[in-house]
Structure 1
Amino acid sequence: MSITGPCAKNGLALQDRPSDSAASWRIALPHSAAAVPVARALVRTALAELEHGADSDTAELLTAELVANAVEHTAAGDAPIELVVELRPSGCQVEVHDPDPMPPGDLTRPSGREPDPWLEHGRGLVLIRALSSSCGHRPTDKGKAVWFRLAVVPPQWRPRPE
């Protein structure tokens, strides 16, 4: 696992961003299931430390889905999966980069069939479509990036700290 950019709190990499962006993190994750909890922790820590207004639970869930999909649906090898988290005044964007150029199926439009309630798999992209303010994918030089955005939750709708 490697982190790029100057060091920030808790060993996260905070990178210089344009003025319209509050902060950005980029981390290379192993191509294994171990990447999922690390990605969740990065998103949770980033949102908490900057007291950002995006919903942390939703961000963690959707990040876990993207990373798990990248691990499961791309060929294992030396190429790591890369997680990019951008916190902006309007919300957050999370991207997962993987070495497979093939777009994820049914991300930006429903497949027309309901997920089988008896299967453990098949709901990740449905969750991403349903819970994010937008989502998509784009080609990269080394494969693709799959992303989602969450808008800032208005303060009156946020849970109060106990």
Structure 2
Amino acid sequence: MNGPALHDRPSASAASWRIALPHSAAAVPVARALVRTALAELEHGADCDTAELLTAELVANAVEHTVVGDSPIELVVELLPSGCQVEVHDPDPVPPFDLTWPGAQAPDPWQEHGRGLLLIRALSSSCGHRPTTSGKAVWFRLPVVPRQRRSA
């Protein structure tokens, strides 16, 4: 799951966005709105609801678990003919180990937290993380959904 990320693929992208977000909970709705707008405006075939949900999980995790000051986090959205890829960059180099290797225990059904990375693993076509010069990038990919299977 730590396969090629944005920088490793040929640039056959239809569109891409890169935006700095505040290191606060306010970043989550902004990130969701950007993904929703990008997919809607281009009438892209990736599942918008799933893209929003998984983006919110990545951004919330970056805000909650990044311990390196108040540096902004960065959202990168790339729309490709085959699907979309979303990356969240943060300044903490520590990888999210449970993203690519499920935890030994199932999440506690009575706890509010602990399901985000499980959702990303379960709902994306692939996901992973990679080191960057300023920390790490955590990413997921969604495929294009055939038109007849998209919700109206």
Per the normalisation by structure 2, the TM-score is 0.91
Task: Write out aligned runs for 1:101-112 (5 A).
Answer: 101-112=93-104
d(CA) in 2 for partners of 1:113 and 1:77? 30
Q: 1:28-72, CA deviations, whole angstroms, 9 ceiling, x for partnerless residues?
A: 000000000000000000000000000000000000000000000
Write out the 4+ residue segments of structure 1 that deviate beyond 4 Å after TM superposition: none
Q: CA offset at residue 113 of structure 1?
A: 1.1
SS at match of 1:107: helix
Give the equivalent residue in structure 1 for 2:75. 83
1:100 aligns with 2:92: yes
| Cα distance change, pair 43–62 in 1 and its aligned pair in 2 (3 A) | same
1:50 to 42, 49, 61: 42
Give the equivalent residue in structure 1 for 2:56. 64
Per the normalisation by structure 1, the TM-score is 0.86
Computing the radius of gyration from Cα coordinates, the structure with the larger value is 1
Structure 1 or 2: more helix by fraction:
2
1:139 aligns with 2:131: yes
Q: CA offset at residue 75 of structure 1?
A: 1.9
Residue identity (%):
85
Q: CA offset at residue 76 of structure 1?
A: 5.6
SS at match of 2:121: helix
SS at match of 1:75: coil
1:150 aligns with 2:142: yes
Mean Cα displacement is larger for which, 102-111 or 38-47?
102-111
Q: 1:65-113, CA deviations, whole angstroms, 9 ceiling, x for partnerless residues?
A: 0000000000263420000000000000000000000000210121131
Q: CA offset at residue 19 of structure 1?
A: 5.2
Aligned residues: 143
Q: Is the 8 A contact 1:31 1:76 kept in 2?
A: no
1:34 aligns with 2:36: no
Q: Is the 8 A contact 1:21 1:87 kept in 2?
A: yes
d(CA) in 2 for partners of 1:71 and 1:147? 15
Give ranges in structure 1 of 5+ residues lacking alignment.
Answer: 1-17
State the structure with bigger RCO (CA 8 A, min sep 6), 1 or 2. 2
